[in-house]
């Protein structure tokens, strides 16, 4: 049975309206999610250091805010200063177990909470560049070259900070780092939920790239690594083989000692073994 031209046209127009409405809703939802994923999760813990001489203070941040900082000096002579940068959604307490290992080896340890984390000042749209600014604030507050330890997003911030302030970093420790920011974000969203990652992840990353004006690629560790000539240790978890392979290509050797370890880093066991081999 033939469909009148007017009826067919009306059907097509209705379909266009529906698809346009769905598309606009999708765009608005992904815009909201782009903001939301930068606000959550926050998963701080309470685990204060219980060794040495502890200084608990606030220092100025780059934007006029403040960072909460611990500096723990050993009772005897110090072998040097290690600055720890936590990962996304964490706080300075998350690095205490790692810092304790270095303290046992006689190092002064410094831990801070990035802006919008822990009890540091609020900051909208925190990212690896903001992490790097906070790390730089801590290093300049310390006032001498340090060993810089970064975990996950903190490792990306540590790489950027080391590239910007090479004279202030003696050695890099990069735990659970990643090579490319875009792929790392997509992997994170798939980890939250496979359907969420596939349906919304690519568009969230697209909006971020527009909002940050291409900074996702510009500040990716894979690009920044070529600007760094520091010795370092690179840790990767065996449960993430693809990330291990990417890191191996970004840090092919030379001044970087690469270790791909199983298990948790938080206990310090793998850290102690690897550091002892360096």
Domain spans of the chain, in order of start: 45-180+220-277
Give the class (CATH, top level) of 45-180+220-277: alpha beta
Q: Which of 19, 101, 34 is nearest to 266 (CA)?
A: 101
pLDDT confidence bin for 217, thresholds 50/70/90: confident
Q: Measured in Å, how far apart are the chain's first and last C-alpha atoms?
A: 81
pLDDT of 101 > 70? The answer is yes
pLDDT confidence bin for 241, thresholds 50/70/90: low
What DSSP element (H or E) covers 272? helix 269-277
Q: Which range among 55-64, 133-142, 164-173 shows the weakest confidence by mean pLDDT?
A: 164-173
240 DSSP 8-state letter? -
**Does 256 or 162 have the greater pLDDT score?**
162
Q: Got the DSSP string for 127-159?
A: -HHHHHHHHHHHHHHHTS-EEEEEETHHHHHHH
Overall pTM surpassing 0.85 (yes/no): no
Burial 221-257 (b: 16+ CB within 10 A, else e): bbbbbeebeeebbbbbbeeeeebbebbbebbeeeebb
At residue 250, the pLDDT reads 58
**Percent above pLDDT 90 for the chain:** 53
238 DSSP 8-state letter? T
């Amino acid at each position: 049975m033939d469909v009148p031209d007017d009826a067919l046209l009306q059907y097509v127009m209705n379909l266009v309206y529906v698809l346009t409405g769905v598309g606009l809703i999708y765009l608005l939802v992904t815009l909201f999610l782009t903001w939301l994923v930068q606000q959550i999760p926050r998963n701080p813990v309470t685990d204060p250091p219980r060794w040495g001489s502890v200084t608990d203070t606030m220092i100025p941040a780059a934007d006029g805010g403040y960072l909460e900082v611990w500096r723990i000096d050993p009772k005897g002579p110090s072998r040097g200063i290690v600055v720890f940068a936590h990962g996304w959604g964490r706080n300075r307490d998350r690095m205490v177990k790692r810092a304790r290992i270095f303290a046992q080896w006689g190092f002064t340890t410094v831990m801070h909470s990035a802006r919008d984390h822990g009890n540091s000042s609020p900051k909208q749209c925190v990212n690896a560049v903001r992490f790097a600014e906070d790390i730089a604030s801590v290093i300049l507050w310390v006032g001498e070259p340090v060993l810089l330890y970064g975990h996950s997003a903190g490792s990306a911030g540590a790489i950027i900070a080391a590239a910007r302030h090479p004279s202030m970093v003696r050695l890099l420790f990069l735990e659970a780092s990643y090579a490319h920011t875009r792929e790392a974000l997509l992997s994170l969203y798939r980890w939250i939920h496979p359907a969420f990652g596939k349906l919304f992840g690519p568009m969230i990353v697209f909006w971020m790239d527009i909002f940050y004006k291409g900074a996702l690629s510009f500040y990716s560790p894979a690009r920044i690594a070529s600007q760094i000539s520091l010795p370092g240790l690179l840790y990767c978890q065996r449960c993430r083989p693809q990330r291990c392979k990417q890191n191996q290509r970004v840090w092919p050797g030379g001044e970087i000692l690469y270790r791909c370890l199983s298990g948790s880093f938080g206990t310090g066991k793998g850290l102690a073994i690897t550091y002892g081999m360096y």
